[in-house]
C-alpha cells in the first residue's frame, strides 16, 4: 500500500508534488454492451486542491455485447475473461492503475447477480476502482464523457445531452460547465431483441409494455415480424421526446421514468446524443444487432429536427459513459487526506447513503441531521 503514496516518482510523497499523473480505468457494464477505457490524468495543485489540466485516453477496449446466462442473469465469468483480455490488449497491469470507477448501468443493475458483478470488478479491475451504480450517476458520466458539460462551459449556453442506450435513455441539462439536472427513462434499443429467425430472445418489462400499447403480443421464444416493430418504436420516441422537449409530462410517460422529471423550462442552445444508439444517429455504425437501434435512431433524428434546436455531434458516442467514468470521477486534495493505519484501506463494498438535508443554512440542527441520516 505504501507505494501508492508516490504518485509520480518513487519515494516521493504527494504533498511534495505540484503535479501528479494518475492512470485511471473506467468500466461500463451496461444492459447491452460492456467496455473499458484507460486514461491518464495530469493534475496540478492550485491552492489546497489538485485540478485536472489534461486528460488523455490511453486505450479503448473492444466493445462486448453484455453476455447473459439466462434472461435475468449476466455471465460474470465471461465478463471476467473479457476484462482480463482488455488489460492484456492495453498492455497495462493492474498494479499500474491508480483510480477509476465501474458503473453498472441501465437495466443491468436490475439483474439478480448485479452485486456479484460489482464484487468481481471491485477486486479484479484494479485496487482503486470504485464500484458504483445508478441512473443519476450514469447520466452525469455520459454528459461529461460526451463533451456536453465542457461545451456548455466554453459556449456559456445550455446543452441537453441525451444518452440513448440499450435499456434506458438518460437526459442531462448542462450549463456553465456543470450538470444542472438529470433524469432517465425506460427507452432503449434492446428492450426487445430478436434472433435471425425473428424469435424474441430478450424482452424487458418496458419493452413488453410498449409492445402491448402498439398492439403486439410478444414473449420470449415467440416469433415477431420485425416490420411490425415500427409503431412500438414510435411510441418509445414519443415518450422520450416528451421529456427532452421540456414539456408537460403525461401520465403515460411518468410510468416509464426512472428518476424525477426535469424541472428546467428555460432556453436550450444545443442538443447532443450519446450512447449506443447515437452511433446510428450520426451514421457511424451500419451493423444489425437484432434490436431496435436503427429504428429508434431514425425516430430520434426525425423528432430532433422538429425541436428546432441545433443538434451537435458529441466528443464521444457509445463510449461517453465509460470515458466519463475513467476521467471525471476523481478529486485529489493536498491537505485533507489522512489515513492511519494505512493498511486500513482499500475498503470494498461499503454501502453509501446520501441524507437529504440542506447544509447551506446559517445554523445546522443536529437533530435534523440525525433524523436525515
Instruction: Say if CB 280 and CB 288 are below 8 A apart.
Output: no
3-state secondary structure of 195: coil
CB environment 100-134: b (16+ within 10 A), e (fewer): bbbbbbbbbbebeebeebbebbbebbbbbbbbbbe
CB-neighbour burial class of residue 136 (10 A; exposed 0-12, middle 13-18, buried 19+): middle
Phi-psi region of 235 (alpha: psi -120 to 50; beta: other; left: phi over 0): alpha
* Per-residue confidence (pLDDT) for residue 133, from 0 to 100: 62
- Asked whether residue 87 carries a pLDDT value surpassing 60, the answer given is yes
* Per-residue confidence (pLDDT) for residue 186, from 0 to 100: 95
* Per-residue confidence (pLDDT) for residue 211, from 0 to 100: 94
Higher pLDDT among residues 285 and 317, named by residue = 317
Q: What pLDDT, in 10s, does the model give residues 294-324?
A: 999 999 999 999 999 999 999 888 888 888 8
> Which range has highest mean pLDDT (41-55, 187-201, 356-370)?
187-201
- Asked whether residue 5 carries a pLDDT value surpassing 50, the answer given is no
Min mean pLDDT across 15-19, 52-56, 181-185, 195-199 is at: 15-19
- Measured in whole angstroms, the distance separating CA 26 from the mean position of its chain's CA atoms is 10
Q: Per 3-state DSSP, what percentage of the chain is helix, strand, and coil (rounded to 5)?
A: 35, 25, 40
Q: What pLDDT, in 10s, does the model give residues 342-357?
A: 777 767 667 777 777 7
Q: For the chain, what is the radius of gyration of the CA atoms?
A: 22
Cα distance between residue 110 and residue 291, in whole Å: 20
* Per-residue confidence (pLDDT) for residue 67, from 0 to 100: 85
* Per-residue confidence (pLDDT) for residue 120, from 0 to 100: 65
pLDDT band at 6 (very low <50, low <70, confident <90, very high): very low
Domains of the chain: 2-137+322-344 (3.30.420.40), 154-315 (3.30.420.40)
Nearest to 188 by CA among 224, 232, 140, 228: 232
Amino acid at each position: 500500500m505504501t507505494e501508492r503514496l508516490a504518485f509520480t516518482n518513487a519515494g516521493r510523497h504527494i504533498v511534495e508534488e505540484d503535479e501528479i499523473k494518475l492512470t485511471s480505468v473506467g468500466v461500463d457494464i451496461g444492459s447491452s454492451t460492456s467496455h473499458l477505457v484507460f486514461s491518464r490524468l495530469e493534475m496540478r495543485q492550485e491552492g489546497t486542491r489538485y485540478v485536472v489540466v489534461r486528460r488523455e485516453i490511453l486505450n479503448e477496449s473492444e466493445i462486448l455485447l453484455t453476455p447473459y446466462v439466462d434472461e435475468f442473469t449476466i455471465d460474470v465469468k465471461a465478463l471476467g475473461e473479457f476484462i482480463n483480455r482488455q488489460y492484456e490488449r492495453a498492455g497495462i497491469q493492474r498494479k499500474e492503475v491508480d483510480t477509476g470507477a465501474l458503473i453498472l448501468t441501465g437495466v443491468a443493475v436490475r439483474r439478480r447477480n448485479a452485486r456479484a458483478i460489482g464484487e468481481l470488478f471491485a477486486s479484479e479491475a484494479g485496487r482503486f476502482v470504485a464500484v458504483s451504480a445508478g441512473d443519476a450517476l450514469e447520466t452525469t458520466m455520459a454528459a461529461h464523457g460526451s463533451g456536453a458539460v465542457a461545451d456548455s462551459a466554453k459556449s456559456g449556453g445550455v446543452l441537453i445531452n441525451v444518452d440513448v442506450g440499450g435499456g434506458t435513455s438518460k437526459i442531462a441539462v448542462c450549463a456553465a460547465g456543470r450538470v444542472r439536472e438529470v433524469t432517465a427513462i425506460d427507452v432503449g434499443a434492446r428492450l426487445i431483441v430478436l434472433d435471425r429467425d425473428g424469435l424474441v430472445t430478450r424482452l424487458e418489462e418496458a419493452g413488453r409494455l410498449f409492445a402491448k400499447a402498439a398492439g403486439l403480443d410478444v414473449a420470449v421464444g415467440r416469433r415477431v415480424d420485425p416490420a411490425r416493430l415500427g409503431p412500438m418504436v414510435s411510441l418509445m420516441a414519443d415518450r422520450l421526446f416528451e421529456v427532452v422537449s421540456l414539456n408537460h409530462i403525461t401520465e403515460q410517460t411518468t410510468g416509464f421514468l426512472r428518476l424525477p422529471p426535469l424541472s428546467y423550462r428555460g432556453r436550450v442552445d444545443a442538443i447532443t446524443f450519446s450512447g449506443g444508439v447515437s452511433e446510428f444517429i450520426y451514421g457511424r455504425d451500419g451493423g444489425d444487432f437484432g434490436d431496435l437501434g436503427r429504428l429508434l435512431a431514425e425516430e430520434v433524428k426525425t423528432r430532433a429536427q422538429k425541436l428546432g434546436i441545433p443538434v451537435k455531434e458529441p466528443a464521444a458516442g457509445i463510449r461517453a459513459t465509460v470515458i466519463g467514468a475513467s476521467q471525471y470521477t476523481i478529486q485529489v486534495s493536498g491537505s485533507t487526506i489522512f489515513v492511519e493505519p494505512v493498511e486500513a484501506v482499500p475498503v470494498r463494498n461499503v454501502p453509501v447513503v446520501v441524507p437529504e438535508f440542506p447544509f447551506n443554512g446559517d445554523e445546522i440542527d443536529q437533530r435534523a441531521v440525525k433524523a436525515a441520516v
